[in-house]
Amino acid sequence: MKILITGANGQLGKCLSQTLREEGHVVLTYSKEQLDITNRNQIREIIQKLKPELIINSAAFTKVDLCEKEIEKAYVINGIGPYYLAAESKEENIKFLHISTDYIFAGDQFSPYEEESQAVPKNIYGKSKRLGEELALVFGGDVTIIRTSWLYGHGGDNFVNTIKTLSERLDKIDVVDDQFGSPTYTKDLVNVIKELITMPSGIYHVTNSGSCSWYEFAREIIKFLKKDTVITPISTRDYGSKTPRPLYSVLSNKKLNSTGIYVRNWKEGLYEYLEKECIYKYED
């Protein structure tokens, strides 16, 4: 299959590109510098020239705090971009797969969110990503929305790398303990995406199984690294972030499980990721 991937330089895009090539697909990768998903004419030109059979959009403006300051940019990239990609995909009869987020939910319940749960985003990032979902689905084409959470992968900035780096120079790190989600390794997400490519279109929640707080996540990282750094729990209020975030954004994989697909526990994914990161660092 000929597959076009946007946002190819991101941690998910890199993993997607490598894995799908290894599966024997023809993978056409475009970074944000090579393809501006907010430019419909450019999208149309590239699609008509390359004629892909599938488009996977992993391009997004994901800096949550910055989205609050650059509101128009957030809505254009996260909302209008998917709209243009979906429109051109529908026009050319191409399957479109769009990556979304747990942040479309308010986080005011304490049971995992299902695909049909009401979306009430609390911040601009979540609102812009929700708009992207709605606009991608408006044409009624062959569109699949994949919502994931707390993503981390090789070759990018993420929470795991941040804690790992801080632990090398600090004796104590404050981490919020009242926000809960499911840390998700890009490798595990991509393994599911491979399956969803040939499955019926729709909305799917895909995360590593299990859940934890950011504090518990950080402690597990430090434990694996055998560091002496003390992880101190702190509330979201005391942490001082001005951007509202969902306190509970765990996604239910029940729909995915009903298809026979299961994702391993988040700790297993984390351990494999850290093992590989340590090897990469040693080789460098």
Angle at which helix 124-137 crosses helix 81-91, to 10 degrees, equals 10
β 212-213/180-181 pair status: antiparallel
Q: Which of 30, 125, 152, 204 is catalytic?
A: 125
Three-class DSSP category at 214: helix
CA–CA distance, 158 with 152 (Å, rounded to integer) = 5
* Residue 53 exposed, middle or buried by CB count within 10 Å (0-12, 13-18, 19+): middle
Q: Give phi and psi for 26, each to the nearest 5.
A: -90, 115
β 151-152/95-101 pair status: unpaired
| Chain centre distance of CA 240 | 25
Residue 84 annotated to the active site: no
Residues with catalytic roles: 125
